[in-house]
Amino acid sequence: MTEQTVAAGYTKALFDFAVSRGADAKSLLSEAGLAAGAMADPDARLPFARFAALMRAAKSLTRDPALALRFGAETPFTELSIVGLIAHASATMGEAFEQTNRYARLVVEVDGHQSGPRFAIVRRRDGVWIEDRRRNPDAFPELTESTWARFVGDVARSFRDRPYVLAVHVTHEKPAYADVYRQILKAPVTFASRWNALRIDPAWLDIRLAPANRYVFGVFSDRAEALMKRLQSATTVRGRVESLIVPILHTGEFGMQRVARTMGVSRPTLYRHLKSEGVSFETLLDDLRHRMARHYLEGKKVSVAEAAYLTGFSDAGAFSRAFKRWTGRRPGRRAGR
């Protein structure tokens, strides 16, 4: 099965939040096995395992076991992903939910996306519920905490005086900080439930969001569709290899043997798989470094020396020569000059 991934922008938001709460940045990166440069492009993909490690490191370094709840409540969806921007440009709360569900994989992939949407509206005799249908939720309950807290927090920022969530159910056991749930979610919480779900006021689905900018909605949707196609292409061997290399690109230790070992295959097997897709490991790596270098240098995000480091070159001179081969010009020079 293809490794699950998260958006680098989502990971960066968690990193920044933990630092703002007192966590040491270098320790966070070290314990999560991340490089700061790997989070530079918000649309890049990082292994879900790195995100989970970052969350656990953040909880430990901030000494706040309820950090996932606070992260969800205090970080607006619009700061995490283009999906949040689409939701906020929707016409109604119901449409915002549909768009969030449609593009949920762009934020974080979960076990269960293979067979259908992550969230569902469930109508029962006891009310209307939003259910999170991901599999094995208790393996990482922090995702349940941050997800439900963000659902509540985002709505509260726009409609402060109106009730939205009426009850909360989670499948994991009651933690020692259960009182924080009620403070943040502002509704009765049932722990060790059979499902992860929010009972909501059904009238919310029809509430109109203002202003509903359809032009902006269309622009964001087109971008999200392009990102979805890119994400789906990551199910190829090439996409899998690239997702493994990006977090370690800065180390220079991304040889074919190491990548093959991480994937659980032999070097010859990886070679054959890539060849069947019409690419070699060397070509893949060169193209990835080119794309990442362009991203780092566009808009003057980093210096040439920093870009060289982040793309795994031994020195700025080697990077400059490679950049000229890719683009016909030295880094820092505009096209045509």
Q: Number of folded domains in the chain?
A: 1
- Looking at residue 84, its pLDDT comes to 82
- Looking at residue 73, its pLDDT comes to 94
- Looking at residue 234, its pLDDT comes to 59
* Domain membership flag for residue 309: yes
- Looking at residue 233, its pLDDT comes to 62
* Domain membership flag for residue 148: no
* Domain membership flag for residue 305: yes
The predicted-structure confidence for 285-305, as pLDDT tens digits, reads as follows 998 888 888 877 875 667 888
* Domain membership flag for residue 254: yes
* Domain membership flag for residue 279: yes
Model-level pTM? Answer: 0.68
What's the CATH code of the domain at 273?
A: 1.10.10.60
Q: Which tokens is 173 given?
A: 């056991």
- Looking at residue 337, its pLDDT comes to 43
Q: Which domain covers residue 257, as residue numbers?
A: 237-327
* Domain membership flag for residue 269: yes
- Looking at residue 210, its pLDDT comes to 66
List of the chain residues with pLDDT < 50: 1, 334-337
